[in-house]
Structure 1
Amino acid sequence: MPEPRHPFFSTPPPRVLAHRGLVTAEDAAHGVAENSFAAVAAAHAAGATIVESDCHLTRDGVVVLFHDDDLSRVTGDPRKVADVTADELETVMAPYGGLITLEQALEAFPTVAFNLDAKAEAVSEPMGRVIGPHGARVLVSSFSDQRRRAALRSAAGHAKDGGRPATSAGTGTMVRLLVGVWLRLEPLVRSALQGIDALQIPERQAGIRVLSPRLITAAHRYGVEVHVWTINDPEDMRRLIEMGVDGIVTDHADLALKTLT
């Protein structure tokens, strides 16, 4: 595989990406939730060097780490993230491990790299503005290529010495790539992977196999890493790494680190 094109991948794989931080069974029993300050801190304490998380925008324009567009699943509050202020969300999240904003995450954990998913159209520009100075340790992702590219454009306008963030393929890009791989259309493969640093994919989607040796080979031919989500079984972790996968996105970063390092 060619050398990675971005400092986000400066250390050799395999990589463990802590999915929404780390919530152990003990922490969960005490009310700690995913994507909370406590969950990110736990992942860092366990030795994870990459945290995968999600970004939404509050009513007053603060980028926060939160997966869903509303608070109901995590806190029981039916309001949407976009309808509450950061102070209101901080109060709501206090019993669940504490709110963490994107700015806090980057400043409080300077040795951690962040894989950040733009979950809403409104968050792309302000998300890019926050991550711009930290491009060397951020990977921007989204199912929407439009949101992903908007965040990258915004980050480029606020970049400092860290340069641009890395990025992974959105759904549209992945469809083009898979067609190119399946039909052995190398120009389409090359075009789809232009400007892409990683593929972050499930093994299967809606009963269709996404991950394959041919896909891994094609990605590696262009210096693009392959990360698979969400893998929690140690045997599956080992099997995928042996297959050639570069990273594992997991709810159990502590277990993955013991298994793969």
Structure 2
Amino acid sequence: MFYVFLGLSTYIATSTFFLYNPQLLHGKKKSAIKCRHISHRGGAAENLENTITAFKQLLRLIAKIWFLSLLCSAIDCDTDMLEIDLHITKDGQVVVSHDDYLSRSCQKAIYVNQTDYQDLPMLEPPLKVTFTKDDWCYGDRSDRKIALLSEVFDAFANTPINMDLKVCDEKLIIQTDCLIRKYKRENITIWGSANDVVLQKLYLQNPEVPTFFSKRRVVITILLFYTGLLPFVPIKESYFEVIMPSIVKKVLNPELPIKSCAYAKFIDYLLMRPSLINHLKRRGIQVYLWVLNDENDFRRAFRLGADGIVTDYPTKLQKFLQKQKSD
């Protein structure tokens, strides 16, 4: 028992030491992208999600606020990011859309991957803002077109973009990579997927483009953290992008039963650990929490150590950041 205790104590002490000093085992990741303000689907509560108009109005807003406070444009600074979702059409066009089945966003019972781009319907507002209790976005009806990824790259050549590939489709991966290379965006683009199979394909397709964690990789990371193995394991991803579990009851399902509430609180406790977040940051892995839409959640996220927040309300988050800076 003495040797078991000695071995266990040594392991715990060693793991704890490297948890706080990971640079002794791993080189710190470096990224050209460092963002605090990330707009979910281009700010889905303020403009029609994933449209060119939403992106342009968002950047004009941020540029105006930052110009007044810092005399610089957010377009030229690494302080903001667009978060978008990708699908591919039947004729091989990469489009910016959260949904493959368009009944929610376009009120049409069709699939993006079964439709040529020219035949895709227009967005039909109002659109439900997913990560709110009961908010709807009516938006600017002058632009209801599902945008091409190439159009987004053309219009926002210097803007960091976070891309979620929603389906496991070889053509989507290849075409997206071709556009990244064409526009020379390897250093200002993040890509990834909740699907770990897609994530592994992205590594093979273009290892120069930084990735965010899949769901499976998040679970593995949590298990490694609580078993003390995380400090010893190399990590390929550069961005730890996870939901803040506390918003599940508050926003996504306020009527959750008691057992489900307890489960959500338990997951929140496991995931929202400052020691985990700080360890990842010491390794150069940025931590983004989503999708947060009120000041209390903004405040908690930054208190936990998050690098950035993904929000549907870019105006609200920008004002919060300015207020924090002035305070």
Assess if the C-alpha contact under 8 Å between 2:43 and 2:49 holds in 1: yes
Q: Deviations over 1:186-241 (max 9, x none)?
A: 356x33xx221110001227611222112202212311111000000012102211
Unaligned runs of 5+ in 1: 28-32, 157-163
Q: Distance in 1 between matches of 2:231 and 2:29?
A: 21
Aligned residues, how many?
Answer: 240
Q: CA deviation at 1:8?
A: 2.1
Q: Distance in 1 between matches of 2:55 and 2:82?
A: 7
Q: Does residue 1:37 correspond to 2:37, yes or no?
A: no
> Higher mean Cα deviation, 35-44 or 91-100?
91-100
Q: Deviations over 1:141-174 (max 9, x none)?
A: 2111221232343345xxxxxxx22211111211
Q: Deviations over 1:238-259 (max 9, x none)?
A: 2211221101000011211111
Spell out the pairing of 1:33-182 with structure 2 (5 A cutoff).
33-47=48-62, 49-89=80-120, 91-93=121-123, 97-122=144-169, 123-132=172-181, 133-155=184-206, 164-182=208-226
Q: Which amino acid aligns with 1:5?
A: K
Unaligned runs of 5+ in 2: 1-20, 63-73, 75-79, 125-140, 249-262, 323-327
Q: Secondary structure at the match of 2:237?
A: coil
What residue in structure 2 maps to residue 30 of structure 1? none
Tell me the TM-score normalized by structure 2: 0.68
Q: Label 1:93 to 1:106 Cα distance change in 2 as closer, same or farther (>3 A).
A: same
Q: Secondary structure at the match of 1:8?
A: coil
Q: Does residue 1:8 correspond to 2:55, yes or no?
A: no
What residue in structure 2 maps to residue 159 of structure 1? none
Q: CA deviation at 1:93?
A: 4.0
Q: Deviations over 1:36-92 (max 9, x none)?
A: 222222222222730001100001000011011111100101100101111112x53
Q: Deviations over 1:71-122 (max 9, x none)?
A: 1100101100101111112x53495532211111111111211100010111
In terms of Rg, which structure is larger? Answer: 2
Tell me the TM-score normalized by structure 1: 0.84
Q: Which amino acid aligns with 2:83?
A: E
Assess if the C-alpha contact under 8 Å between 2:82 and 2:161 holds in 1: yes
Over the residues paired in the alignment, what is the CA RMSD in angstroms?
2.2
Q: Label 1:107 to 1:149 Cα distance change in 2 as closer, same or farther (>3 A).
A: farther
